[in-house]
Chains A and B, each alone.
Chain A
Amino acid sequence: MLNPFPRLACSLSNERCRNVAYQSLLALAVGLAAWYFAANAAANLQERNIASGFRFLWREAGFEISETTLFSYSAADTYLRALAVGLLNTFRVAVVGIALATVLGSVIGLARLSRNWLLAKLAASYVELIRNVPLLVQLFFWYSIITENLPAPAQALNPLPGVFLSNRGVAFPVPRPHSAYVWIGAALMAGVVLAIMLKRWAWHGRQGMDRRFPIIAAGAAATIGFPLALYLGAPLEWSRPALTGFNFSGGAALSPEFAALLAGLIIYTAAFVAEIVRAGIMAVDRGQFEAADALGLSSRQTMRFVILPQALRVIVPPMTSQYLNLTKNSSLAVAIGYPDLVSIANTMMNQTGQAIEGVAIIMLVYLTISLTIAAFMNWYNRRVLQRGGDA
């Protein structure tokens, strides 16, 4: 039946019209609020003679940064370069932190499932203790242990040959750069590529588990063997830290700030990783262990082919958010004076008064990192799900 009246007005009793009305109202309210704040900000900035925009990034920064990663920086460089140094410092602590927290966390998670009562209780206490104390308190704690309680460089602790712990941080030996190392790096890449190809080929050609090709052994041999062969041929010279004056020179050094931040992040995140790993393994049905046992698989095979593929499905999503948390938590560096992105942006804001731009840069960078890690982990998660078959 045709409606005899052309619909001119929309009534609120019609659900679709109501929805349109609500949404328009919401959009209007948000728009008005944004406009109000923007107008205020514009007026305030004019009053205080602060130019808006990002042109200030090309001005001279005029402050020193205590440690830099990869590229050099001096006070005469621009704010942009200072921020880039900060960003690299953030990456440095986040990448190392994620790798080590994963390892430590997995070990503790497995230890908590151990049949050894002492070990399991120890791991459980670690998790409970660390999770229930704020990360910031832990950072301050490690920082004061390093700067206040470790001895001066002259009496540095020497727990391993060549490694020195003092209130100036950690000093350890590194191989002296040599042209051969470039080739070792190339050999490593070639080894990795070969290992991946081997794995592809072996998976492809395999009909069942009975025709076993030692993939892991062969892959490891290629990855380690190639560079090792070159390495043994190359002249090996270590640059060792030695005490000169009041501090160590030579070798590589971690500043107290970096060491405290890294230790804090690793120890804190590992507690959460441990719980995730434990929950993931416990989520695998007990029957799966028993079935694998009945098939005569060794405990290593059970873990590799039965338990891990299923546990990973449960582990990957929460692990992603832990990695993101670690990256975001690295911004606490500002509290102990490690020059990460946030603390450099903070200095910049104090010097230039460009608070809006500064906070916008911080947010933009972290959003980019978050979304990138999230996208990567989603991709990995899909792969894990595919490998596991359905679900």
Chain B
Amino acid sequence: MNRLLVIIAPPLYLSFQCLRANLFSTLPNSLATLLILFVAWRFLPPLFDWALTNAIWSAADAPLCRELQTKGACWAFIAEKYRFILLGTYPYDQHWRPVLALALLLGLYGVSALRSMWRPRLALIWLCGVAVIGLLMWGGALGLDYVENERWGGLMLTLLLSTFGIAFAFPLSILLALGRRSPMPVTRYFCLAYIELIRGVPLISLLFMASVMAPLFLPTGVFIDKLLRAAIAMILFAAAYLAEVVRGGLQALPRGQEEAAQALGLSYWQRMGFVVLPQALRISIPPLMNTFIGFFKDTSLVVVIGLLDLLTTIKISLSEPAWIGFGVEAYLLASLLYFLFCYPMSRYSQRLERQLVPANEAMSLREN
């Protein structure tokens, strides 16, 4: 009876019956509801006061922050620092360039999310988009001043690092996944060793490797930019995880597909490129999206080697004497920014999963 009501009643239709079925159906249920309401009544109003009523909003009132420290939030910190947090040390008068590049990048994300755009021309769109972004960020042509990439930072750096990290890690991961299933033992063991080695260690140790160890492994005189070194470490890291996802997709594909392609006399790369991979990648799109989200969050780790990403710009802003002690406000902002990117991506991946993957396959994929 209860179950039926829950299904039939539209979620926002607040009738007495609906309330009773959803909140007060049994005694433990009612107790849980009352407990939640009590906690909300006890803690929400003070939280509301802190975040809104007593908060200090404008940068001009910043000195007041100290006096009110725990009674009201000091959003003035954000009002004062948002440009540095979002764009890093990019020349101040040129800020329109990264902002435009950011809008362009978001536009590219939006376009890629449309399934009707999943055609070869999407690659062309991306190439053009990336070229324009590169031009805007670096400049040096069309009357734009040159800006070296040491001055890139903030949210823009986080986005670029994750976008290009994935762009390079993905092809590598396909090769690794194919290699891991290869009939050639040497190839198989190399790929297996690589994947397990990378997956077995924390990302931090790879970043340390890139920042402390990499210079030792290069011949004297050869110097690789710190950003590039970190990017390479992130790519090598992401490739191992993506490879396991792709392998899940390959395993979920019925054997008959490859055997049929073999019977048609297709070569290995033809079989993979035209028959196996298109199907395998299609079913692994939802878990791939989840790995992308994880990777996006993981870019925050570059803070430990001092790259100027979103989290580092926030930490630097907090280390100024005027703003020491306002970490809660600052990290709430960081959480919000990351959430604004990750949550839509995760919703999108859930929707894709329903559209693309039949339920039984979804199960076998998730287990990998």
Q: Which of A41-49, A178-186, A219-227 contacts B (4 or more CB under 8 A)?
A: A41-49
Of A30, A114, A115, most buried by chain B (CB within 10 Å of CB) is A115
B204 in the interface (beta carbon within 8 A): yes
A314 in the interface (beta carbon within 8 A): yes
Q: Give the complex CA separation of A136 and B186 in angstroms.
A: 38
B70 in the interface (beta carbon within 8 A): yes
A367 in the interface (beta carbon within 8 A): yes
A356 to chain B: which residues have CB within 8 Å? Answer: 213, 216
Shortest beta-carbon distance, B23 to chain A, in Å? 6
A331 near B204 with CB under 8 A, answer yes
A243 in the interface (beta carbon within 8 A): no
A-B pairs with the 5 shortest C-beta distances? A144-B327, A117-B22, A132-B342, A23-B186, A134-B297
A116 near B201 with CB under 8 A, answer no
- 10 A-B pairs within 8 Å (CB atoms) are namely A40-B217, A119-B33, A132-B293, A132-B346, A134-B298, A138-B335, A317-B367, A329-B202, A334-B304, A362-B205
**Which residues of A, 368-385, contact B by the 8 Å Cβ criterion?**
370-371
A137 in the interface (beta carbon within 8 A): yes
A22 in the interface (beta carbon within 8 A): yes
Contact A148 B325, CB 8 Å, known A44-B216, A366-B200: yes
B205 near A371 with CB under 8 A, answer no
Q: Give the complex CA separation of A30 and B186 in angstroms.
A: 11
A116 to chain B: which residues have CB within 8 Å? Answer: 22-23, 25, 29, 32-33
B135 in the interface (beta carbon within 8 A): no
Shortest beta-carbon distance, A372 to chain B, in Å? 11
What does the 1/0 interface line of A250-266 toward B look like (CB < 8 Å)? 00000000000000000
Identify A115's interface contact among B29, B37, B70, CB under 8 A. Answer: B29
What does the 1/0 interface line of B110-138 toward A look like (CB < 8 Å)? 00000000000000000000000000000
B264 in the interface (beta carbon within 8 A): no
Contact A141 B332, CB 8 Å, known A22-B184, A44-B216: yes
B311 to chain A: which residues have CB within 8 Å? Answer: 134, 136-137, 140
**Which residues of B, 301-359, contact A by the 8 Å Cβ criterion?**
301, 303-304, 311, 315, 325-328, 330-332, 334-335, 338-339, 342-343, 346
Q: Give the complex CA separation of A129 and B332 in angstroms.
A: 12
Contact A129 B33, CB 8 Å, known A135-B297, A137-B311: no
A96 in the interface (beta carbon within 8 A): no
Q: Give the complex CA separation of A115 and B2 in angstroms.
A: 9
B contact face: mostly helix, strand, loop, or mixed: helix
Task: Give B contacts to A, CB under 8 Å.
Answer: 2-3, 6, 22-23, 25, 29, 32-33, 36-37, 70, 183-187, 190, 197, 199-205, 208-209, 212-213, 215-220, 293, 297-298, 300-301, 303-304, 311, 315, 325-328, 330-332, 334-335, 338-339, 342-343, 346, 363, 366-367
Shortest beta-carbon distance, B226 to chain A, in Å? 15
Q: Give the complex CA separation of A355 and B330 in angstroms.
A: 33
Q: Give the complex CA separation of A289 and B36 in angstroms.
A: 29
A132 near B6 with CB under 8 A, answer no
Of A24, A41, A136, A141, most buried by chain B (CB within 10 Å of CB) is A136
Q: Give the complex CA separation of A363 and B213 in angstroms.
A: 13
Shortest beta-carbon distance, A350 to chain B, in Å? 8
What does the 1/0 interface line of A326-337 toward B look like (CB < 8 Å)? 001101101100
A-B contact count (CB 8 A): 173
Q: Give the complex CA separation of A363 and B197 in angstroms.
A: 8
Q: Give the complex CA separation of A174 and B355 in angstroms.
A: 55
A51 in the interface (beta carbon within 8 A): no
B216 near A355 with CB under 8 A, answer yes
B201 near A363 with CB under 8 A, answer yes
A292 to chain B: which residues have CB within 8 Å? Answer: none
B36 to chain A: which residues have CB within 8 Å? Answer: 118-119, 122
A144 to chain B: which residues have CB within 8 Å? Answer: 327-328, 330-331
A115 near B25 with CB under 8 A, answer yes
Q: Give the complex CA separation of A128 and B349 in angstroms.
A: 13
- The closest CB in chain A to the CB of B11 belongs to A117
Additional A-B contacts beyond A26-B187, A332-B301 (20; CB < 8 A): A24-B186, A45-B216, A132-B338, A132-B343, A133-B297, A133-B342, A136-B300, A137-B334, A140-B331, A141-B332, A148-B325, A148-B326, A149-B70, A149-B328, A328-B203, A349-B208, A355-B208, A355-B216, A367-B200, A370-B201
Task: Give A contacts to B, CB under 8 Å.
Answer: 19, 22-24, 26-27, 30, 37, 40-41, 43-45, 47, 114-119, 122, 128-129, 131-138, 140-141, 143-145, 148-149, 279, 283, 314, 317-318, 328-329, 331-332, 334-335, 342, 346, 349, 355-356, 358-359, 362-363, 366-367, 370-371
- The closest CB in chain A to the CB of B296 belongs to A134
Shortest beta-carbon distance, A44 to chain B, in Å? 5
A148 near B328 with CB under 8 A, answer yes
B25 near A118 with CB under 8 A, answer no
B70 to chain A: which residues have CB within 8 Å? Answer: 149
A318 near B367 with CB under 8 A, answer yes
B303 to chain A: which residues have CB within 8 Å? Answer: 136, 335
A140 to chain B: which residues have CB within 8 Å? Answer: 311, 315, 327, 331, 334
Shortest beta-carbon distance, B32 to chain A, in Å? 5
Contact A137 B33, CB 8 Å, known A115-B6, A359-B209, A367-B200: no
A318 near B202 with CB under 8 A, answer no
Q: Give the complex CA separation of A192 and B253 in angstroms.
A: 46
Shortest beta-carbon distance, A156 to chain B, in Å? 14
Shortest beta-carbon distance, B78 to chain A, in Å? 15
Identify B201's interface contact among A118, A145, A349, A362, CB under 8 A. Answer: A362
- The closest CB in chain B to the CB of A48 belongs to B216
A359 near B205 with CB under 8 A, answer yes
Shortest beta-carbon distance, B14 to chain A, in Å? 11
B200 near A134 with CB under 8 A, answer no
B217 to chain A: which residues have CB within 8 Å? Answer: 37, 40-41, 44
A349 near B212 with CB under 8 A, answer yes
A367 near B201 with CB under 8 A, answer yes
B366 to chain A: which residues have CB within 8 Å? Answer: 279, 318
B367 to chain A: which residues have CB within 8 Å? Answer: 314, 317-318
- The closest CB in chain B to the CB of A317 belongs to B367
Identify A132's interface contact among B22, B23, B33, B339, CB under 8 A. Answer: B339
A370 to chain B: which residues have CB within 8 Å? Answer: 199-201
Q: Give the complex CA separation of A195 and B96 in angstroms.
A: 70
Contact A328 B331, CB 8 Å, known A40-B216, A133-B342, A317-B367: no
- The closest CB in chain B to the CB of A333 belongs to B204
- The closest CB in chain B to the CB of A138 belongs to B335
Q: Give the complex CA separation of A359 and B332 in angstroms.
A: 33
B22 near A141 with CB under 8 A, answer no
B297 to chain A: which residues have CB within 8 Å? Answer: 132-135
B343 near A30 with CB under 8 A, answer no
